[in-house]
Amino acid sequence: MKPITVTLAQLDFTVGAIRRNADTIISTLQEQSASDIVIFPELALTGYCPEDLLFRDDLAQRMQPELQRIADAAVTNLAVVGHPQRVGSELFNSVSVLHRGKVLARYHKQRLPQYGVFDEQRYFIPDHKPCVFEWEGHRIGLLICEDIWHPEPIAQLRDQADWIVAINASPFEVDKHSQRVHVLQQRVSEVKLPIVYVNNCGGQDELVFDGHSIVMAADGTIVAELPHCLPCCQSVRIEASGWTALPSNCEQPELNRVGEVYSALVLAVRDYVRKNGFQSVLLGLSGGIDSALTLAIATDALGADKVHAVMMPFRYTSQMSVDDAAQQARTLGVKYDVISIEPVYNSLMAQLEPLLAGTTPDITEENLQARSRGVLLMALSNKSGSLVLSTGNKSELAVGYCTLYGDMCGGFSPLKDVPKMLVFELSRYVNRYQEIIPQRVIDRPPSAELAPDQKDEDSLPPYEVLDRIISLYVEQDWAPSAIIDAGFERDDVLRVVRLIDINEYKRRQAAVGPKMTSRNFGRDRRYPITSHYRYELERQTTEGKHEKN
């Protein structure tokens, strides 16, 4: 067995940018000319996942010449590239081994995930055959992503291969990397073969691919581990005496759990903005913690010169909020403006006065404040071409504590899948070296400031309680009765569950945002808007009594 060098190309590919993705692959092959084998992620050629683009005949027509161009460019090394492959009327999720204009081997994915954010059975046909190719005396088995999460595909390779290549597009969620390491150690223990696990790294709509690729030896030890949310290449030398990670530019400070989430949010914003052709972003900076965190993320993602923060005070906005917003904008060096919504609100109320005469002020007037701010932000967006970032969090979105066409307006929502308690953790993380977010923004009770002396907990349970109920009901599918049995107050549980269920219509109209938790609102959780199932749950929990909508 000849000593060889293998390179893990943990890179950021764009869905649909077939020629540009091919250019990236070719330039990487040239840069890594000293490497014998260069391995790219799952569906690298098209980006993951092309969704219904895969139904288009012209996608395959555009893809095949680029695949050939990569094969022609792979002169000094082998290119292991993920791509869709049509065979007759069937479409496979495939990986090809390319060299000097030829396909040396091709493998079709066996296990197609159809759960959570994945819809692969909508597009692809599963195969059942293993694939092993030989190079310089090495017998190398091929697997694709979901294959590695099941024992059967790798078991086919146990007696045929010396080591395994698994290409992946595995999206991030909290603690996902530890799950992957555990699964790889299970597979290694079963077959006693090393695994080269190469993951995609980049943002794609509501998914973030965090990289964190791994080379695991046959005894389960980690030979090389690539950074979290940082596209780069890492080479490994394979010799009879063992496997060794070579020096690389893949350097990153060690991140804790909260740091990984923050880095994923930064990558999500950066890629969504740039891949969709925007040059800058715009957001409403209220002096509260959600918009403060969103501003920090946007600045780290794009740079201060690409971020515009707008404070839009009203009669209920505290001077503390005005001062804190201005202080953070100065600290970060972003463009900052103040526009009072008082004239806009008064004009709207004057027009509505004949129709609202004799009514008592309520949520109508509160929502009108939020919608006045939304109108101003969208006007600035239209004029400047900047993307509006929505600043709401998962807890608020879950229970509908947000205003359609108001604070929900925007093209991307970075905190959409970030529960409120994690917002606090992330804000403290932002301030780990210096005070970026004013400390009293983190310390004071959250408030929408839409009414005098208003606090979020006037309308909602404490966020420590709210987030736990949301997690149990939304992410873990617990029944309300089980949540109550776990020690939560019956009234809190029934109110929160009801709010979650009746606000599905709001969430359907919310801006897209990156998945961070085990189940997000979007691809992960697809509930009907019109549904009476909550009445069934209420009957079960309240012994025949339920509240009409």
Nearest to 514 by CA among 227, 233, 271, 206: 206
Reduced DSSP (H G I as helix, E B as strand, rest coil) percent helix, strand, coil of the chain, to 5: 40, 20, 40
The three-state secondary structure class of 314 is coil
Residue 27 labelled as part of a binding site: no
One-letter amino acid at 523 equals R
- 424-462 residues labelled b (16+ CB within 10 A) or e (exposed): bbbbebbbeeeebbbeebbebebbbbbbeeeebeeebbe
Q: Is 275 annotated as a binding residue?
A: no
Neighbouring residues of 9: CB distance < 8 A, sequence distance ≥ 6: 25, 28, 32, 38, 39, 40, 41, 198, 233
CA atoms within 13 A on the CB side of 124: 22
User: Is 115 annotated in some ligand binding site?
Assistant: yes
Integer-rounded Cα Rg, in Å, for the chain is 26
Burial (CB count <10 Å: 0-12, 13-18, 19+), residue 311: buried
Question: In sequence order, what are the beta bridge partners of 245?
Answer: 236
Is 291 assigned a ligand-binding role in the annotation?
yes
Q: Which of 42, 120, 206, 449 is catalytic?
A: 42
Q: 109 catalytic, yes or no? A: yes
Query: Known catalytic residue: 233?
Result: no
DSSP 233: E
* 389 marked ligand binding residue: no
Q: How many CB atoms lie within 10 A of CB 10?
A: 27
From the candidates 49, 131, 145, 229, give the one annotated as an active-site residue: 145
Neighbours of 56 (CB within 10 A): 11
Does the annotation place 176 within a ligand binding site?
yes
The answer to whether 200 is annotated as binding is no
Q: What are phi and psi of 147, to 5 degrees?
A: -55, -35
Torsion, Cα 184 266 525 375, to 10 degrees, reads -170
Beta bridge partners of 79: 38, 98
Q: What are the structure tokens assigned to 257, written together?
A: 């759990």
Q: Is 42 among the catalytic positions? A: yes
Please enumerate in sequence order all residues whose Cβ is within 8 A of that of 222, keeping only pairs 6 or more positions apart, or say none: 181, 214, 215, 216
506 is in an annotated binding site: yes
Any known ligand binding at 285?
yes
Residue 467 β-bridge partners: none
For residue 353, say whether it is annotated as part of any ligand binding site: no
User: How many whole angstroms separate alpha carbon 414 and alpha carbon 389?
Assistant: 7
Burial 82-116 (b: 16+ CB within 10 A, else e): bbbbeeeeebbbbbbbbbeeeebbbbbbbbbeeee
Residue 173 and residue 340: Cα distance in Å, rounded? 39
Structure tokens belonging to residue 89: 């009327």
Is 286 annotated in some ligand binding site?
yes
* Catalytic position from the list 49, 66, 109, 260: 109
Pairing, β 138-144 against β 163-168: parallel
User: Do the annotations mark residue 347 as ligand-binding?
Assistant: no
Q: Environment class of residue 362 by beta-carbon count within 10 Å: exposed (0-12), middle (13-18) or buried (19+)?
A: exposed
Judge whether 477 is annotated as a binding position: no
Report the binding-site residues.
115, 170, 176, 284-291, 367, 391, 396, 506
Report the binding-site residues for ATP.
284-291, 391
Report the binding-site residues for deamido-NAD(+).
367, 396, 506
Residues forming the active site: 42, 109, 145
